[in-house]
Each structure stands twice: as structure tokens, then as C-alpha cells.
Structure 1
Amino acid sequence: MIDTRQFSVIIPTWNRGELLKVTLGKLRAYPQFIAEIHVYVDGGDEATISFLGNQFPEVHFFQGQKNIGPGGGRNVLLSKAQSPFILSLDDDSYPVSAGFFERVLDSLEKYPTAGLLACQIYHKFEETPAWVDQVKQKAVFEGCGCIYRKIALKGVPGYVPVQWAYGVEEQDLALQLIDKGWDIFLDKSLVVFHNTDLGHHNDPKKNAAAIANRALLAYLRFPARYTWLGLAMFFNRIYWALKNSRSKGVLKGILMTPSLLFQYRHLRVPVTASTIRKWRKIEQG
């Protein structure tokens, strides 16, 4: 009999214990597929540590006192995961489609160049999407619902440990994987529910980070000849924020950019120009 317990699950969290309880409860329905669950508790969140030990003894958890954000947390968890395939979730997301793990195994076998499978994500203000038997190449993914092939992560720098990772987290890792010769595929039959209305995106702090992070992504990964593209992404995000009535945080985002680039300068590992061209081609469809 083939051993189907080939999955590790990783979940970063910070001060959202009630949502995390729901997600962990949902995962208990898949003991035949999940070999281990790892949770990273960010920023000295003692309340979450307490209930994890009492209510979810099967979960391996790790605690950090300094806020390193979801990317930093995922870096820790990815280093701990031992299974060949790693399901990445947020503390408020979980798979809902029938046969989810069976489909993942089928797709990873069918697409051997897939370093990462992206799931179809929907939110609590949206209807559950219809099941669609469709797989297509993508240039980016969402960390709240994706599956990494562990071997594909070997030798890549990983996520940038910024507290507010909007605009840099997934795009950055996507570039790293593509640069190593891996592909990213969206499998629309893999449906994940993300229990949020995305209202937190209006937070001025997160709006500021989404602007500065565009510049950080370009600085860390773009070769010099694509500096113009990084500047375009930076100013396009500012324009988008102003156009969509998110002016709060724009000035802060502009002002914090130089210090952010300086802070993470040691993580600069540019990808090749051909990787940028491939990434843009896929992104543009």
C-alpha cells in the first residue's frame, strides 16, 4: 500500500488564536495525508502558545519574540518540515475541495517541473468557486494556500522576514523558484477558503508596506538592467493607492523605502535577466 502521509503543513500566526483553532480543527480530518503540522507563533504571542500545548498536542510549534512576519515564520517552518510536500496555510485558511490531497499528489506527478502548486483561494464575502479541472502556469501564488515541493526549495534564499510582507512575500519566492528552473502552476481544483474580508488591507501601516515592499523586491531580486521595472512597480502602487482612496500610509511608504532597502541589503541576490523576462511573460499571460 502506498503511504499517502507525505505532507507537512506549515502555518505562521500572530495574535489570532480563535481563527487558528478553526484551521487546526479542520486539518484533523486528514490524518491519512498529513504527517506533521508546524506552527510558528510570532512576536511573543503567549496566549496562542498556551492553547496549542493544551488543545492541539499533535502540533509542533515554535515561538519568536521579535516580529518577523509571515515570511520569516514560513522560513523557520520550511526548515523544520520533513515531508516531500508542504502545504502552506495562513492561520485563517484551510482546504475545502473534495479529494484535495489526492488531487495534489496527482498534479505533482503530472507536472514534475512544478516547484509549487497554487490553490484557488476564495474569501468569506465570495461564493464557493465551482470545481474546475484546470491547471495553468502562473507567475505568482498566495501563501495562504499553496503546496511546495520540498526539493525545489533547496538553494533558494527564501522569504524576506519583514513584519508586513505585502507585495514582496510571494512574488519574491516565485522569482527565486523560476530562477532555479522550477515552474509554478495554479490548480483550480484545489480550493482553499480564506476566512477574511481583506478589510485589513486598508490599514495605513499595511498600505505603506505594500508601497515600500515593491522597491524592496526590485532591489533584492532585479538585475541592474531592470531598475526601470522596479521603479515602475513602485510608482504604479502609489498611483493605485491614491486612485483607490488609500492615501493614508502613502507618504509613510515613500519615506520608509530607503531605510527598508538598507536594512535588508545583505539579502540581495538578483535573479538573471532571463528569469525576469520569463516571469513577466507568464504574468502577462
Structure 2
Amino acid sequence: MPFFSIVIPTYNRARLLEETLESVFAQESTDYEVLVVDDGSTDDTQAVLARYGERVRGLRQTNQGQGAARNLGIQQATGEYVVFLDSDDLWFPWALATYRQVIHMYGEPAVVMGSPAPFHHLEELGRVRREPLRAHAFADYFATAEESFVRTACVIAVRTEALRQVGGFTSRRISGEDHDLLYRLGTERGFAWIEAPLVVGYRQHGGSSSRELERGFEGLCYLLEQERLGAYPGGAARRRERLMLILHNARHVTRWLAEGGRPGLALELYRRSLRAHLAMPRWRYMLGFPPWVVASVLRQLRR
């Protein structure tokens, strides 16, 4: 049984997928299996996978979205930990070795999260150096509520058993499915954050499309509704931590929506999150965001 199952969902990214896989096969640590889930691609993704032969387990499904693709990979994984990698991102050679070092250092935590290096062009990654290990341990994910670091599925390793217990990712086509997973893993024993070295090159694409903005709105509405329904663990004792995490994300997305030219969605998400903000309370945001949106719209009209 391999230590890591690497799950890579992909959709119509044949060229980028090759670069991603090459970064996997350049890893110092080799105790892994690679599962690429083709989410109904119509390009030459299958031809790319065929060239790797038995080094890659190719899985294929009709187009159902990234969450469903990752879930298929989770179902087929045989490793102790599942590590997620997006098909347009790149690992540094020390990524898996660093995850494994931290896993052993902190007694096999349920979740280990690395830190990404955002990039637009490959040459930017040449400036990244392997720094000495700096990692931080917490009782669980919710205990990180007051910490500030990038939280995304493309930098996490999760104990396979824990993933299956919480049901994997939501299959809804929303942005924020990775946050939803982390909240459902919120009380699983052990969480570690790797501050350094950086483990993944996180590719930045062009400006946000209208559909991406809508999916961001839908994703935050889903997270707020799941919290309202009591879908996340921890009960009343952990409610404040959950709200801190969800509302930090909500504030980011409302600002992103307004700056992306969707002030109506920004204000609707503000309205839906208002009761939760009152529970904290976050007066500066509650009082300041509506006039900020108006000012933002006026600035855009003057351009």
C-alpha cells in the first residue's frame, strides 16, 4: 500500500496536465500512486495519459465537476493519505517529502496543509528556494480560525479514512467546495500547517469571468446554509470558530464580487451573511460595506 494517493482532477487541460505530472514524477519521495480523473475532457487528455502507461491510474467520468472528480479519486485511493493537486499546478520536488516529514513529526494529523507560490509564468517558480521547515500544529482545523494563511484543496494532504468518513467533497458545481470539506473535517484529530518551504506552484489565470463570480456567490451561500442547518461538526462550542472561518471568506467574496462588477450579488451575499456577522459582531464590515459598494460602483462608472 502506498503512503500517498495523489488525486489530480482534470478537464480539457492536456498540455498543462503534462507539466503537472512531470512535477509529480520529479518528487524526492516516491512512495505514492497517481490517480488522474478525467472529468469528461474533449481534448487529447486520454492520449496524454496513455503515454504514461502504468505510472498513472487513469479514471474517467462524464463531466460532473471538480468535486465529483475528486470523489472518484478518493473512492479508488489505496494510500494512507490522499494529496490533491490541480491539473494546472506544479509541485516543487520536495513537496511530498515535506508532507511526510510533518505527518510523522505531529503524530499523523488528519489534515496537513502546505503553502503555495502563486505564479503566472513558469520562470517565476525558478526563484523559489527550499527553505528550512517551519510548521505549526493545532488540535484540529477549527482551532486555526484566528490564523491567516491560504486555505485551498490544492495544498492539502488528508488521511484517507477521515476523507471517507465525512463523505469527500460536495458534488455541487460551486466555488468553495474545498472550504466545505475542511469545515466537515473541522474536528478531526490533528491539523498541521506548513509555512515553509512552499510546496506547490499555484497557477494564476486571467480575470474572473461572470460565471466564476456567480459560482463564488453560490458557494458562499451554500456554506452559510450548511452552517445554519448544523451540517458542520463541533456544535455550539465551536460555533464562533466556524463563523470566523466562514465569514472571513464571505467578506473576501463580497469584495471580489463588487470589484468584479457584480454589486447586486455582493449586496445579496452581504444580506445573507448579516445575521452571522451580528453574532460575532463585525460592526466595521456591517456598517462600512454598503457605502463601500456604492463608492466602488461610482468609480467604475467614471472609468
Q: Following the alignment from structure 1 to structure 2, what is the Cα–Cα distance between the partners of residues 205 and 191?
A: 30
Q: Following the alignment from structure 2 to structure 1, what is the Cα–Cα distance between the partners of residues 112 and 253?
A: 30
Aligned to 1:151, the other structure's residue is in SS state helix
> 8, 24, 47: which is aligned to 2:5?
8
Percent identity (aligned): 20
Which residue of the partner structure matches residue 159 of structure 2? 149
> 203, 225, 244: which is aligned to 1:219?
225
- Native 8 Å contact 2:114 2:155 kept in 1: yes
Which residue of the partner structure matches residue 40 of structure 2? 43
Change (3 A) 1:246 1:32: closer
> 1, 18, 23: which is aligned to 2:15?
18
> 112, 121, 135: which is aligned to 1:117?
112
Aligned to 1:131, the other structure's residue is in SS state coil
> 1:23: how far off?
1.1
Q: Following the alignment from structure 2 to structure 1, what is the Cα–Cα distance between the partners of residues 263 and 190?
A: 35
Larger Rg: 2
Which residue of the partner structure matches residue 256 of structure 2? 241
Aligned to 1:15, the other structure's residue is in SS state coil
Alignment of 1:9-88 (within 5 A): 9-30=6-27, 33-45=30-42, 47-66=44-63, 68-88=64-84
User: Which residue identity lines up with residue 96 of structure 1 in the other structure?
Assistant: F
Provide, for residues 137-174 of structure 1, a one-character-per-residue CA deviation record: whole Å limited to 9, x for no partner: 445732122211112224202211133x32x2221111
Once structures 1 and 2 are overlaid, which stretch shifts more, 108-117 or 135-144?
Answer: 135-144
Larger helix proportion, structure 1 or 2?
A: 2
Q: Following the alignment from structure 2 to structure 1, what is the Cα–Cα distance between the partners of residues 263 and 201?
A: 25
Aligned to 1:21, the other structure's residue is in SS state helix
Once structures 1 and 2 are overlaid, which stretch shifts more, 138-147 or 211-220?
Answer: 138-147
Q: Following the alignment from structure 1 to structure 2, what is the Cα–Cα distance between the partners of residues 129 and 29?
A: 16
Change (3 A) 1:35 1:196: closer
Change (3 A) 1:209 1:30: same
Change (3 A) 1:146 1:239: closer
Change (3 A) 1:250 1:59: farther
Which residue of the partner structure matches residue 189 of structure 2? 182
- How much is the aligned-residue C-alpha RMSD, in angstroms? 3.5
> 1:242: how far off?
4.8
User: Which residue identity lines up with residue 72 of structure 2 in the other structure?
Assistant: V
Please state if 1:131 is matched with 2:145: no
Please state if 1:91 is matched with 2:87: yes
Change (3 A) 1:223 1:27: same
- Native 8 Å contact 1:40 1:63 kept in 2: yes
> 1:132: how far off?
4.6
- Native 8 Å contact 1:8 1:37 kept in 2: yes
TM-score (ref. length: structure 2):
0.69
Q: Following the alignment from structure 1 to structure 2, what is the Cα–Cα distance between the partners of residues 236 and 183?
A: 27
Which residue of the partner structure matches residue 178 of structure 2? 170
> 1:193: how far off?
3.2
Aligned to 2:203, the other structure's residue is in SS state coil
Aligned to 2:111, the other structure's residue is in SS state strand
Residue ranges of structure 1 left out of the alignment (5+ in a row): 259-276, 278-285
Q: Following the alignment from structure 2 to structure 1, what is the Cα–Cα distance between the partners of residues 250 and 131?
A: 37
Aligned to 1:219, the other structure's residue is in SS state helix
Please state if 1:159 is matched with 2:205: no
Q: Following the alignment from structure 1 to structure 2, what is the Cα–Cα distance between the partners of residues 31 and 156?
A: 31
Q: Following the alignment from structure 2 to structure 1, what is the Cα–Cα distance between the partners of residues 113 and 226?
A: 23
> 1:196: how far off?
1.9
Aligned to 1:199, the other structure's residue is in SS state coil
Provide, for residues 211-239 of structure 1, a one-character-per-residue CA deviation record: whole Å limited to 9, x for no partner: 1111111223444687xx69967974564
Q: Following the alignment from structure 1 to structure 2, what is the Cα–Cα distance between the partners of residues 102 and 232?
A: 34
Q: Following the alignment from structure 1 to structure 2, what is the Cα–Cα distance between the partners of residues 90 and 31?
A: 19
- Native 8 Å contact 1:13 1:42 kept in 2: yes
Q: Following the alignment from structure 1 to structure 2, what is the Cα–Cα distance between the partners of residues 28 and 238?
A: 36
> 1:58: how far off?
2.0
Q: Following the alignment from structure 2 to structure 1, what is the Cα–Cα distance between the partners of residues 264 and 225?
A: 19
Provide, for residues 113-158 of structure 1, a one-character-per-residue CA deviation record: whole Å limited to 9, x for no partner: 6211111101214653662522224457321222111122242022
Q: Following the alignment from structure 1 to structure 2, what is the Cα–Cα distance between the partners of residues 50 and 153?
A: 30
Q: Following the alignment from structure 2 to structure 1, what is the Cα–Cα distance between the partners of residues 65 and 267?
A: 17
Change (3 A) 1:123 1:237: closer
